[in-house]
Amino acid sequence: MKKRILLIMVLLFTFSLGFITGVLYSSKDSQNADVLYNSEHVPQSAKRLELKAEPKAKKLESQVLIGYVQDFRNPDEIDYTNLTHVIFSFAHPTADGKLLLNGDHALKNLRAINAKAKQHDTKVILAIGGWNHMNGGESYDYFKAAISNPDSRKKLVYELVSLAERENLDGIDIDFEHPRSKEDAQFLSSFAKELSFSLHPKGKELSIAVNAKVHSVTGTEIHSVVFDPKMFQYFDHVNLMAYDGHWDGEYNAANLSPYSYSANIVSYWSNLFDRQGFSREKLVLGVPLYAQPEDPAIKQVSYKALIQNNPANVTRDKVSLNGTTYHYNGHTTLQKKTILALDHKLGGMMVWEAGLDAQGSNSATTLIANVLENKDDTRFFSKK
């Protein structure tokens, strides 16, 4: 009996000792767990930390300033400083979906512009289409043939994406002037969808230049140009060509691009995007950097030439030069248009084209960039 009692006491002692040991061990683990999740107790790495250089701020973080540049321009004469995007214009589609550049000099200029633009953190995009085709006539017939057939459309998408990758471009811009029917609109929408699905996974952008769709005289919608509104979901930027209004109705150079015309265009496209549920930030308001003569038989004059003739022309919208009256957008109107775009929450501004701009303090793109960058400054918004 005594032996049994002694055995029971030994077992109880052993069990108690194990229990106490387990509690102490568990408590120690809990302390270790606190060490793992409390950063104050984490041992510092033996590696010496170095301060990284502050990343260079991106210009115009919330708005874009896009400049089209024609393929024959001297890359050294373009001011990339204020541009967020350069759109190199144009590559030309063939009816069977191939892609053409306007000779070896165009490819050389594209590469030079790309290299120079990258030094200023400016993106470079290749535009396809335009009004005239390098094989003669309008681009419309070639473009429509290429995108209306599934095989040629697929080939054109492949050619564009391959070129963008090979030349390290930042995207593609579509300039199909202009879809003239619901059938055209559907072809363009299919092309945009396929191109978007190929470009966006590669981190490249897709933009489109669109007809203003507003009559410069009546202010009403132009129905001869047809878009599928749902198509705009595929684009990063929709560049509104808010100029060339002088061709609406009877020729009138004064209707090139007055402020009232741009206001009607901004209202039309803002309402359209609101109804479709698209962000207005996709919309980019275009302005002309050329002057339209009252005599249609006379050639246009660049904004640069007007300023070189007389620096005082910088604030005007009309000037008489060599016996001809020209209409254009001076700094006052360009400032008002930029504020108009900001007030309507648009994504920025576009110029056709950067190669026509003046230099220095009279530069139109410099003025626009200053307004965009100082959008909260009451100096720019006190007068409308």
Mean pLDDT of the 233-239 span: 98
Secondary structure (DSSP) of 292-331: EESSTTSPPEEHHHHHHH-GGGGG-SEEEETTEEEE---H
CA 41 to centroid of chain Cα atoms: 48
SS3 content of the chain, % helix, strand, coil (to 5): 50, 20, 35
Find tokens 């509690």 and name the residue: 23
Mean pLDDT of the 350-369 span: 97
**Residue, of 303 and 46, whose pLDDT is higher:** 303
- Kindly indicate the confidence band of residue 17, based on its pLDDT and cuts at 50, 70 and 90: very low
- Kindly indicate the confidence band of residue 42, based on its pLDDT and cuts at 50, 70 and 90: very low
| Radius of gyration (C-alpha) of the chain in whole angstroms | 31
- Kindly indicate the confidence band of residue 3, based on its pLDDT and cuts at 50, 70 and 90: very low
Residue spans per domain, the chain: 64-290+329-381
Residue 168: what pLDDT?
A: 98
C-alpha–C-alpha distance, residues 332 and 293, integer Å? 20
Per DSSP, what are the bridge partners of residue 194?
Answer: none
Q: Is the pLDDT of residue 236 over 50?
A: yes
Q: Is the pLDDT of residue 353 over 50?
A: yes
Residue 160: what pLDDT?
A: 98
Residue 377: what pLDDT?
A: 61
Q: Is the pLDDT of residue 241 over 60?
A: yes
**What residues contact 361, with CB distance under 8 A and at least 6 apart?**
none
| Best CA proximity match to 172, nearest among 182, 186, 183, 158 | 158
Q: How far is CA 183 from CA 139, 179, 291, in A?
A: 17, 8, 35
Fold classification of 64-290+329-381 is TIM Barrel (3.20.20)
* Average pLDDT score, the chain: 86
Task: Produce one character per residue of 290-323: b if its CB has 16 or more CB atoms within 10 Å, e if not.
Answer: bbbbbeeeeeebbbbbbbeeeeebbebbebebee
C-alpha–C-alpha distance, residues 169 and 118, integer Å? 10
Among 10-14, 213-217, 274-278, which is the least confidently predicted range? 10-14
- Above pLDDT 90, what percent of the chain? 80
Q: How many CB atoms lie within 10 A of CB 46?
A: 5
At 89, the amino acid letter reads S
Contacts 24+ apart (CB under 8 A), 50-59: 56/121, 58/121, 59/84, 59/121, 59/369, 59/373
